[in-house]
Chains A and B, each alone.
Chain A
C-alpha cells in the first residue's frame, strides 16, 4: 500500500490567525479521505497547501511522494484541483474550457480536443459541450470544473467543497462521477461541510475543528464513538429542555446534548433497555414528552459530540466575508 497524500505537523498561520495548527494525515493510494469541518476549520488551507498554492508555515506535506515545498512542479504534474469557486470561463464553450487546459498541458490540438470530448462525456455534458458555459446551470458548471481538473489525468484529486450550493439532484449526480473516478484508482481528498457527503464518498474521515484534527476513522468508527444508539427526546414544554437533559444525564453514559433550535435533547445510549428507564424518569420528573426516538447516530451527532457545535453553523455573512478577507490579507 503506497501513501498518496501525507502531512506531518502541517501548520499555517496568517498573521495571528492559526488556520492550521499542526495536522497529520495519511491517505493510501486509491482511497477517498473526507476532510470534514465547519467554515474556518482549516480544510481549504490544507487543500491549498497540498495543491502548492500556499506554503506551510511549518511541518511537511507531500503528494505522491513529492514534497509540496521543494518539488512543487512534480506535485502539480500529478494533481487535479477543483476549488470552491467553479473556475469556468463563461464566454467559452464547455469544450473550449477543457481544450485550453489540454493545450496548456502540452497536448496537440487534436489530442486536447479528443480528451475534452471524452471528459465531457464522462461528466454527462456531451450534448452541452458546444454551448457557452454561461448558459450552464450550477450543477453543470461544477461538473465542467471537475472535468477541467481531470484533463491532466491526475493521480491525486483535491475537491474543495465540490457540492456546496448544489441542489440535491446535482449533488447526487456529482457523487456518481466522483465514485467512478475512485473506481479507476484515483486518490481523492475531499473537503465538505456535509456529513452525508463524507458518509457517501469517503473511505476514511478526518474531522477538523479550528485547525486541529479532532477525530478520525471510518464513518462507522466515528459513529460508534458516540455509543451504539442515539435517543432523542422532545419535551412538550421547550423551557424544560435543561431539566430533561439533567434527568437523562443520570442514566446514560454520554453527556446529553441540548439542541435549542430543534427543541430536543439527544443522548447516546449503549443499552436500549435504558430507553424505558428514561421514560420512567422523565415521567417521575413531570416532564411530558412530545416526541421520542431511538436511532443510529448520524455523523452530525458525532460532530456535535466532538466539538460542542453542529457541523454546519447557520451561514453568517460576516463570517464568510471575514474568511475571505483574511485570506487576501495573507497575500
Chain B
C-alpha cells in the first residue's frame, strides 16, 4: 500500500480528537481479560485441543527419555534431569503456535473485524489472546513437570529458584507468543499457519542444548547453539532447578526475552492496526 496522503496512514498516527470515552488503561485491562476468558472457554469446551496440546510434550518426554536416554545419559537414568528443562522450553516455544492459529482464525472468521468495529481498545484482541495462551502455558508446564517427577525428575534447587525458573520460562514463552502473533496476522489462512507456523520452531528448539549438551555438536553448529535463546533459557532453568548459580544465564535469558518482546510486540501491533 502506498501511503501518499495522511488518510492512508493507519495505526498510531491516527488519534481521535477529543473523544471522552477513549478506553483507559482500566478498560483495556478488563476488555483483554474478557477476550482471554472467551478464548479459554473455547479451549475448555474443545477438550480434544487440550488433550493434544498436553499429550504432545508428554509423548516427547517419554520418547526422548526412554529412546535416547540410555545413549545420551548412560544407564544411570540421569538423562531425565537434563531433558526435563529442555522439554519444558521446547513445549513453551511450541505453544506460540496456538497464538498464531488463534489470531489467524479470529481474523478469518471476522471476529477481529467485529472487535475492531466496537468502541473498545483494539489492542485488547491481541493482549487477550496472549493472556489466554499464557494461562494455558502455565497450566501445561505444571502438568508436564508433574509427569517428569513421576519419571524420576528431581529438583534440588530451593522454592525461590523453582518459582524463578517457572517465571523465566513463562516470560520467554510470552515473548515467543508475540512472534506467533506476527505470524498469525501475516499468513493468509489458518491452513497456512498450520503448515508454516511451526516450521521455524524445529531448528530453534533442536539446534539448542535442550536435548543434548552443546559440547557434543560440531563447531559450526555450536556457534549457533550457544547464542540460541532456547539454549540460554534452558541452561538457566537447569541451573535454577539444580540449585546451581544461574545469575548470568538468567540475565542473558531475560535480555533475549526483552529483546524478542520489544521487536515482535511492536511488529504485531503495527500489523494489527494496519490490517487490510
A residues with a Cβ closer than 8 A to B are 13-15, 48, 51-58, 69-74, 76-77, 79-81, 83-87, 89-92, 96, 100-101, 103-106, 132, 148-149, 152, 325, 327-328, 330-331
Contacts and interface: CB of A to CB of B under 8 A. Distances in A.
Contacts of A58: 5, 7
Nearest to A158: B117
B19 to A, nearest CB: 5
A309 B257 CA distance: 57
Contacts of B115: 104
B42 to A, nearest CB: 4
Interface of B: 1-2, 4-5, 7-10, 14, 16-17, 19, 21-22, 27, 31, 34-35, 38, 41-42, 45-46, 108-111, 113-120, 124, 185-186, 188, 271, 274-276
A77 B119 contact: yes
Give the most central of B4, B19, B115: most A CB within 10 Å. B19
Given A48-B276, A91-B41, A103 B114 contact: no
A96 B41 contact: yes
B8 A104 contact: no
B19 A14 contact: no
Contacts of A54: 276
Contact of B119 (A53, A100, A152): A152
B41 A73 contact: no
At the interface, is chain A mostly helix, strand, loop or mixed? loop
Contacts of B27: 106
Contacts of A77: 21, 119
Nearest to A76: B119
Given A91-B41, A92-B41, A96-B41, A72 B110 contact: no
Contacts of B188: 325, 328
18 contacts: A15-B2, A52-B117, A55-B7, A55-B10, A57-B7, A57-B8, A58-B5, A73-B16, A77-B119, A87-B114, A91-B42, A91-B46, A96-B41, A103-B34, A104-B34, A132-B45, A152-B119, A331-B276
Given A76-B118, A105-B120, A132-B45, 10 more contacts: A53-B276, A55-B10, A71-B16, A77-B21, A91-B46, A92-B38, A92-B41, A104-B31, A328-B188, A331-B271
A76 B110 contact: no
A86 B16 contact: no
Nearest to A77: B119
Contacts of A48: 113, 276
Contact of B110 (A70, A87, A91, A104): A87
A207 B41 CA distance: 43
B117 A89 contact: no
Contacts of B22: 73
A316 B115 CA distance: 30
B19 A71 contact: yes
A64 B274 CA distance: 24
A14 B41 CA distance: 37
Contact of B109 (A71, A87, A105): A87
A51 B275 CA distance: 14
Nearest to A97: B38
A100 B30 CA distance: 12
Nearest to B15: A70
B275 A331 contact: yes
Contacts of A87: 109-111, 113-114
